[in-house]
Chain A
Amino acid sequence: MAKLHNYYVLCPLIDQKSFLGVAEDKEEEHVIVTLGRNVVNKYQLSDQKQVGGWTSKDHITSTVIYDKEQASYVGVFNKNTIKTWKEDSDNLDKIKKFKFPLNILKVLPRDKQSSLIVFSNGNCASLPYALDNRKTYESKSLLKDTDTIVESACFSINKIDFICYIVKNNKDSYEIINCPLRDELGDMDRSKLVRTKITRPDDVYVVGKFICTEEKNAVYILWSDGKMTVYNFKDWKTIGSVPWVSTLSSVSLAWMGKEHLIVFGSNTEQDGAIIIAYNIVLGVGSCRYPMKMYSEGAKLYCFHGRIILEASNHIGMLPYVLQTKRNLSSLLGSHEVIQDECMEIADWDSPTEPQFPVNDETKDLIKLGLTERTICSNVIPPLLEKDDFRAVYQTLKQFKDIPETTLVSLLKYCIKLVNPNNIDVTDAEEFAKLCSGEHRNKKDQLVHRAKFELLNSTLQISFSDALIIPPLRSGLSLDDTLFLMTYMAHILVNSEKSMDTEYESKLFDWYTLLMDAFYQQYLMTKDEKVTSVLQNTLNIVLDLIKQLHTVSEMLPVINKLLSGKMIENDEQSMSYAIELMQI
């Protein structure tokens, strides 16, 4: 990820046309700015203060550099003269001139080696060697008259030094010239010179070019269709397209470091400029910084975490931060996840007392560590024998897991409770009367209702089908089942009791269960009561199925209405009707 900070001015420019360039000084954070033909200044980047500088009567024609090997500044004057000076020299005019018989393009500083003089005709030589042999120095021009070197750099691969030029001819086509250098002399081993044309089959032209000598040695070319290609001196590769920048005017490129190129060009609207940090690995622009003014062919450098940019009337500076690690995550808009490795300490200090209400009978049994089922089967039957239905009801509430045998005896008890006289189940009227219990006084009414409440809650208890059938067969009589089925029919159809679906489905479970458990008896007996109850049940089921069908028929209509569609009237009924009319 790249982040560009705020832009500020390093120094004003005297005249943009005569500005020659910026080079690194011997101290870090210092730069040599060759402001014009006569002025060279040194600036401290951190506070943009001028820390030194020289003026010259002779015209400076190339960027002044600092040669580390000789620990001196080197400048090209009047295109053919080299002057070297130390930091403390104050008058450049008095320094010894080394005049060459041919024009010098520039001086390239090299790490841990002497600097390289590049001549306008394409030749080069190491600074000391060239200075020594300047009088006799002659060489055949590498370039045609129409060619000009627009970019030059030197680098080394496997301790072999190379020089690389980008040459432009008068037809606006570009060529890369790459050539190994001989040791010491620093001149070109012409037999190994490689020329590579910069072309693409498409109808595009070059808008930006840059020779990178840091991290990877390569030539980056930006094309007019926004595509960035790279030449690593073996083959070409397309990185991707550069966003946000207009390729109608020339684009300046420089190396930022950490897989990033810095791109300066006009913005897409062509009403201002833009600086883009371009990731060459991912082929995406990772950061952009809009600028007010665009200047054609602006010189662009990166020193010590700062972009140095030639602007129309000043040299600007843009500090930046690069982090390769966060590349993807920043592009995705997420943040680095900080792992929370702090451990949560569970509080195991739970009370030993059970966290639910228990009455005295069960308390002791819990202490024994008995299961709920066992406790239930111990507690309920004695209560049933006592015939205290309220106590039964209260105790029952405490249990979730009730053994099936207990459930059956509970059911039997409930039926006895509400139906002591064994009512005739075929008599619907009498049955309804029993259920509503309207003939009793108010107190009895309450008792009566409570009894039914017990039955209702018993029917809601969950059970296992397989386990309950044997106790059901032995526990309940045929009459009991008939009563139960009639009662369930009553609450399904007639009662005003509000039911949730769970309770309703429980009732159907009971129906199935009773039918399963007693089907033989139902089959064998010719009792009219059985026929009546079964017929009644059948009617209920059929009725319910009919309702389900109605619902499923209604659903598409409702869906259609919800989605806002018109319900089409039957064509025939629209176009023909017999109506009553008062005539």
Chain B
Amino acid sequence: MASKVHRVRYYNPKPQPINCVSFNKTSKHIAVARGDASIEIWDLNYAPYLVKFIPGVKNGSVEALGWVKDRLLSTGLGGALIEWDLDKLCLKTTVLLTGYAAWCLDVSPDNSLVAVGTEQGYVNLYSVDSDEIIYNKLFDKQEGRILCCQFDKTGNVLVTGSINTIRVWNVQTGHAITRMSVSRRGREVIVWCLGILSDNTIVSGDSLGRLIFWDSTLGDQLESYSTHKADILSIAVSDDEKSLFCSGVDPVIMNFIKVNKSTGKQTEAQWVKNVQRNIHEHDVRGLVIHGEKLISIGVDGYLTFSSYPPKWVMRLPPMIPAPRSSVCSRKKLLLLRYSSHLEVWKLGSYATNNGNVLVTNVNTKLDSSQLENNELEQDSTIDIINKAKAENVQLQSLKLTEKPVKLVSIQTKEKNQIRCCALSPNGELVVYSTASVIRMLKLDADEEQSNISVSKVLINGLPEGGCDRVAFTDDSCTMVAHSAGTLHVLQVDPEAGATPVQTISLDKYLKAKSILHLYISKRSPKGVTYLVVADTLGSIAVWTQNNKKFEFYVSLPKYHCVPSALTVDSLRENLIVTYVDQKIIEYELKEKRFTKWPGAALPPEWLSRRSAVSSICAHPTRDAVLFQDETSLWIMEKTAKQEVNEPAAKRKSKPGCQNVALKIVPIKYLADFHWLDKDEAVTLEVLPENIVSQLPPIAATKRHGHI
């Protein structure tokens, strides 16, 4: 039977541009800073997955990021070098810089020094050896702001780029060794980005769209290519130094490769233009090479992965970090999380006629991506999604009797960004936390839910600093919040407020102090409620609720990567976890053991996926599981085509047996999926065109064959 799906497409938080990026080669974590000064840390070991989110502050600015081993540093127009606490996801230390606003930052290859270039032309050098930030020296002041800086491989030489000039500095002395002039015919040229090769060649990208190779010892220009029609903002050099990418305001990504030109006995290396990619429409601000893949970021806010050959593109849209929404199925309420406000919507309802739904129109969906102007390279999809797109052409819309209504919009104080939020399952309470404070609000509605009043509910006994995950039990009487390695269990009463009843220190059970998932299951038929917590290192621990308190129940065996999503099938008391490497496990909580499902029966299509699962739901009526990622919904039958409700048969499935049945519903971009009822669900969708429409206009470019 078809399910009635509320497709919510009015959730359009403003996409934030990505200002800068820094890649940690050892942990394979990438840090990106957005226009609202928030920092996201993505794990790129397997499918890219957002593991940490540091909310930005109002009027904050992050212009450059750098990793010192596993410490994250940033600097910006505030004129301070900041170290972030990646466990508590907040500011750790701040060091004020000399020279006002800072534009760039680089960490020496041995992770001992940090250089910061400032507005007034000072290079600030700091030692970061011993888990501290200690002032080392200031380089000689130079004219004009320093827009980029880069250490060479040895760490003895720093190259800075500013207006009209590139300087090579001796890090030991703080004096400039060489100066190179990039100005042309008296025009002011800004050097936006640099790359240094181990043979002392410097690569610069400037505001005239030129990529210039320099000899840093002599200060000579070796080669110059006018590759772009506008400023080049970023250069990325591969580890073997045989290939480099550059892009910028003209968002074409150019690839240069080094070829050996042998003339007689002499062999001479030369850089030549290789391929160019039209992946972005907006300015590209940063490029990072990660193995075979190129990561590009920019004003469009997408985290874009591409590779060649063959041509492949994957875009992760700019979205508010999960969890983005929650539902109250009884009242059909939907809580939407925006950057600094929350909205509660009452979903619409459909017309029924003697129990049959009324279908108003049947649309044949056109695959719009085929019709689009294919100037831009489209996202690469795996075959099965294409197939699903081709099949899923009929959309039956139901006649609406009530349109969705926005009940309340809740602004945070001083527009602080929200770290987490939840709606209690009974629809009475909304809880949210910013970086500093956690708040609970009670929604009072009259019968028709037309008049809504919001009143504050007191929360006692929680430490300062808010929380980063929060969840309610199904009866809405208990709330669990995580803050800095501790779980706080609170008893909630809409009238009396919330009072802590238990605190659980996670040190004993988990390895990391920051957690990824906090999940409270529904009450199982036997009356058990499970609390599952997963940390950023991949440990998973389970508690059970006993009266008002939670008791530790079991820890799952450690897996080598982080769980991207987890759920408890409360009917069968199974914990289902997907990891970022697409591994699915099912754990029988009652027996404390893994089930054999899905074992080797995973269809090959599943393993071809490139994106991480962002949520899992058990199917309310069938023995099936739904996996959701940004672009699709995967419905996996647990028992393949064998008999349903026969666990014995399930266990028999061996390699070579029939694969589990799979159905895919492509939705671009699917922000969230919730079941409301046995046959009713909500999809929260952010349409790509809605993202594009909120972006700044693109610089008009004339491309071949287009007007």
Contact = CB atoms under 8 A, between A and B. Distances in A.
Contacts of A574: 9
Contact of B7 (A572, A577, A582, A583): A577
Given A583-B619, A583-B633, A578 B665 contact: no
Nearest to B404: A576
B3 A581 contact: yes
Nearest to B396: A580
B3 A583 contact: yes
The 6 nearest A-B residue pairs measured at CB:
A575-B10, A580-B2, A580-B396, A575-B9, A578-B398, A581-B5
Interface string B336-355: 00000000000010100000
A583 B397 contact: no
A578 B3 contact: no
A579 interface: yes
Contacts of B357: 580
Contact of B626 (A577, A582, A583): A583
Contacts of B681: 581, 583
B356 to A, nearest CB: 11
Contacts of B404: 576
A578 B9 contact: no
B635 interface: yes
A383 to B, nearest CB: 61
Among A572, A575, A581, find the residue whose CB has the most chain B CB atoms closer than 10 A: A581
8 contacts: A573-B400, A576-B8, A577-B9, A579-B5, A580-B396, A581-B665, A583-B3, A583-B681
A578 B2 contact: no
Interface string B1-24: 011111111100000000000000
A580 to B, nearest CB: 4
B185 interface: no
Contacts of B10: 575-576
Interface string A13-46: 0000000000000000000000000000000000
A575 B395 CA distance: 15
Contacts of B359: 580
Interface in B643-682: 663, 665, 681
Interface of B: 2-10, 348, 350, 357, 359, 395-398, 400, 403-404, 619, 626, 633, 635, 663, 665, 681
Contacts of B7: 576-579
B3 A582 contact: yes
Contacts of A579: 4-5, 7, 395-398
Contacts of A572: 403
A64 to B, nearest CB: 66
A578 B5 contact: yes
Given A579-B7, A581-B681, A583-B681, 9 more contacts: A573-B397, A576-B6, A576-B7, A576-B8, A576-B400, A579-B5, A580-B3, A580-B398, A582-B3
B398 A576 contact: no
B197 to A, nearest CB: 51
Contacts of B395: 579
Nearest to A574: B9
A578 B635 contact: no
A575 B635 CA distance: 25
Given A577-B397, A578-B398, A578-B400, A583 B5 contact: yes
A443 B3 CA distance: 63
Contacts of A573: 397, 400
Among A574, A576, A578, A580, find the residue whose CB has the most chain B CB atoms closer than 10 A: A578
Nearest to B679: A583
Interface string A205-238: 0000000000000000000000000000000000
Nearest to B681: A583
Contacts of B400: 573, 576-578
A58 to B, nearest CB: 68
Nearest to A576: B404
Given A575-B9, A576-B9, A576-B10, A581 B403 contact: no
A573 B357 CA distance: 17
Contacts of A578: 4-7, 348, 350, 397-398, 400
Contacts of B5: 578-581, 583
A574 B404 CA distance: 12
Contacts of B626: 583
A581 B404 CA distance: 19
A229 B626 CA distance: 93
Interface string A556-583: 0000000000000000111111111111
A580 B4 contact: yes
Nearest to B620: A583
Contacts of A581: 2-5, 665, 681
Among B7, B357, B681, find the residue whose CB has the most chain A CB atoms closer than 10 A: B7
A95 B203 CA distance: 97
A582 B633 CA distance: 11
A576 B398 CA distance: 11
B44 to A, nearest CB: 31
A521 B359 CA distance: 51
A582 B2 CA distance: 4
A543 B80 CA distance: 77
A582 B663 CA distance: 9
Among A572, A573, A582, find the residue whose CB has the most chain B CB atoms closer than 10 A: A582
Nearest to A581: B5
B348 A576 contact: yes
A572 B10 CA distance: 8
Interface string A65-83: 0000000000000000000
A581 B400 CA distance: 16
Contacts of A575: 8-10
B403 A583 contact: no
Contacts of B348: 576, 578
A8 B281 CA distance: 67
Interface in A107-150: none
Interface in A174-212: none
Among A573, A580, A582, A583, find the residue whose CB has the most chain B CB atoms closer than 10 A: A583
Contacts of B398: 577-580
A526 B292 CA distance: 94
A376 B330 CA distance: 84
A118 to B, nearest CB: 63
Given A572-B403, A576-B404, A578-B348, A583 B665 contact: yes
Nearest to B621: A583
Contacts of B635: 583
Nearest to B3: A583
A577 to B, nearest CB: 5
Contacts of B396: 579-580
Nearest to B690: A575
Contacts of B633: 583
A580 B361 CA distance: 11
Nearest to B663: A582
A582 B619 CA distance: 12
Contacts of A583: 2-3, 5, 619, 626, 633, 635, 663, 665, 681
Contacts of A576: 6-10, 348, 400, 403-404
A578 B676 CA distance: 13
A28 to B, nearest CB: 67
B365 to A, nearest CB: 10
A510 B619 CA distance: 69
A482 B158 CA distance: 106
B399 to A, nearest CB: 9
Nearest to A583: B3
A34 B619 CA distance: 116
Nearest to A582: B2
B233 to A, nearest CB: 35
Contacts of B397: 573, 577-579
Among A572, A573, A575, A577, find the residue whose CB has the most chain B CB atoms closer than 10 A: A577
A582 B396 CA distance: 11
B349 to A, nearest CB: 8
Nearest to A572: B403
B10 to A, nearest CB: 4
Contacts of B2: 580-583
